[in-house]
Structure 1
Amino acid sequence: MGSESDEREVILGVDGGTTSTVCVCMPLLPFSEFPDPLPVLGRSVAGCSNFNSVGEDVARETLEKVMAEALLDAGVKRSAVKAVCLGLSGVNHPTDQEKILGWLSGYGIAAQALIAVMRAHDGRGPQTMLSSCILQSLGLSSPDELIGWTYADPSWARIAALVPVVVSCAEDGDQIADEILHNAVQELAISVKAVVQRLRLAGEDGKGSFPVVMVGGVLGANNKWNIGNEVTNSILKTYPGACVIRPKVEPAVGAALLALNFLMKETVANGHS
């Protein structure tokens, strides 16, 4: 890379979750000088960085890897980094997260798909396209091998990685996969509604306006099956005043901007221009 890239000061933003971890490298500029669209010098994607799922050591390795690769993609050295913001999933107590995990994540969707495959194999449930597609995705020859595959490494991220297979099967008309996604949508919508009721966000008549920010890998759009849109429609049926917000930039970019904001405040507080 040229000397200009080597000398450029940058900021890093990280969006770390159970399914994947994304890091972006952006130039260090005053907010007023940022062009539209926002410039991303480098971007990298790695696996799970939720320490409740993979453990602290693996999570740390993932974070170090994704940041190093983003810098490599941008062509800048580690010494050029002036601020970093990490947005990481995880709660203080792993058991608390396990209680709410269920249908509310990619893990929940994929786990139900695996159960459906085993039920079909045992004759306890209907046949499903999920069986052949999941086996092909994992390089296995029989549903019996799924038990060993699951217990070999039951991490959330590894299982959640099967969500695209479930969505693909649903888009191709598989009824079981479609039911799994519909159930996931309803459970997520019910959870949102419970929060709205608990905090009284919609007012006494339930028609008040409140924001709903749609962020998360599972909520992303697909060719036909758009989980995010389905969740939105379900919420709006109950709360027509809900204001659905889809971020204009990905969460990792938002994290980088938070890093920049903190750096600017520190600079002002220290009396520098």
Structure 2
Amino acid sequence: MESDSKGGSGQEELRENGYGSGVVLGLDGGATSTVCVCLPMIPLLRDQLSLPDPLPVLSRAVAGCSNYNSVGENAAKATLEQVISDALTESGSDRSAVHAVCLGVSGVNHPTDQEMILNWLREIFPSHVKIYVQNDAVAALASGTMGKLHGCVLVSGTGSIAYGFSKDGKEARAAGGGPILGDWGSGYGIAAQALTAVIRAYDGRGSPTMLTNRILKALGLSSPEEIIGWTYADRSWARIAALVPEVVSCADAGDQIAHDILVDAVKELGIAVKAVVERLCLCGEDRSGSFPVVMVGGVLESNKGWDIGKEVVNYIQKLYPGAHPIRPKVEPAIGAALLACNFLMNEKNINNHG
């Protein structure tokens, strides 16, 4: 399902076609960039089959990192304000037209994180606007299930996390603690192991590897000694994660160390999904029940030879034959916007029956 981008002039036509007045915003804030999309209210979202195809996306804006653990609170807040302003301007809407905002952002690991970001957004919007803050993995799950929170999502980009919801609303997560606390299987985790392998080979603690020449060439460096300075010169984890294609390329070419790094990544990602599935009993008591596993992130996208995503699916399906892999047709920001619609409608239904 692809999105259809329309400017502000299309809002009147959308209303004539049965969409509600006003708009919702969905934000996806990862370690690399922040995306904000603006959608009209979709009044029939409770019936998943009624979702329009293509989705009527009014606007889309992109800005930098909004994970305050990576860039600090001031920079993260400024990024959110900028990307929201750009999306509203492009859609021809103002802040008073917004009914709800759902933000999925990496670094939201505790209610205190949610409250801090909620306070930032409350400063931006009028009091009638409903604001929902989730971990970015929740928006990623919704992008595969079109706004329905059930099943498990596996995200592996710069960082990695597995997150899931049972049908009765219980939730669980595994990994997602950032590079220091073990986002193994992430782009950062894979590339950091590769850099470590190069240093080990250079100083005699490890075997020679094709990764040495490949990574030095990619970074424009002349000696493994220079990798140490390069690694610590910039706080961004994404620049390290960007080396994953070099690892995949070396594994494709038969380098055993690169191959072992990717095998280890597959196992770690599979274990993260397993932890969530077991805690929520998504597979049912007989372990054969059907449930979606949404696969999101650059590390899980198909590669020429060594396909990490495919290997992870094989790992999961050996454990749970009923696991149904989904590669989303829309981006996480749209998943967040659909969540905003669903959350808002659920609140209205509760209030109407209360």
The TM-score bracket by the shorter chain reads 0.7 to 0.9
Counterpart of 1:24 in 2: which secondary structure? strand
Q: CA deviation at 1:109?
A: 1.2
Q: What are the superposed Cα offsets for residues 137-162 of structure 1, whole Å, 9 maximum, x if unpaired?
A: 33433322221222223443332233
Which of 3, 14, 24 aligns to 2:37? It is: 24
1:152 aligned partner: 233
Letter in 2 for 1:14: L
2:139 aligned partner: none
Which of 103, 110, 131 aligns to 2:191? It is: 110
Which of 232, 239, 246 aligns to 1:165? It is: 246
Per the normalisation by structure 2, the TM-score is 0.62
Cα distance in 2 between the residues matched to 1:176 and 1:97: 26
2:9 aligned partner: 4
Which of 300, 306, 310 aligns to 1:229? It is: 310
Cα distance in 1 between the residues matched to 2:288 and 2:225: 51
More helix by share: 1
Contact 1:12 1:81 in 2 (8 A): no
Counterpart of 1:97 in 2: which secondary structure? coil
Matched, 1:48 2:129: no
Q: What are the superposed Cα offsets for residues 23-47 of structure 1, whole Å, 9 maximum, x if unpaired?
A: 3233455447964121334334444
Q: Structure 1 residues 55-64 or 108-117, which shifts more?
A: 55-64
Which of 97, 119, 123 aligns to 2:204? It is: 123
Q: Structure 1 residues 123-132 or 223-232, which shifts more?
A: 123-132
Contact 1:19 1:161 in 2 (8 A): no
Which aligned pairs between 1:240-251 and structure 2 lie closer than 5 A? 240-251=321-332
Contact 1:19 1:160 in 2 (8 A): no
Root mean square deviation, CA, Å: 3.7
Matched, 1:97 2:114: no
State the identity as a percent: 63
1:129 and 1:64, CA in 2 relative to 1: closer, same or farther beyond 3 A?
Answer: farther
Unaligned 5+ residue runs, structure 1?
Answer: none
1:189 aligned partner: 270
Per the normalisation by structure 1, the TM-score is 0.78
Q: Structure 1 residues 103-112 or 151-160, which shifts more?
A: 151-160
Contact 2:283 2:322 in 1 (8 A): yes
More strand by share: 2
1:45 and 1:263, CA in 2 relative to 1: closer, same or farther beyond 3 A?
Answer: same
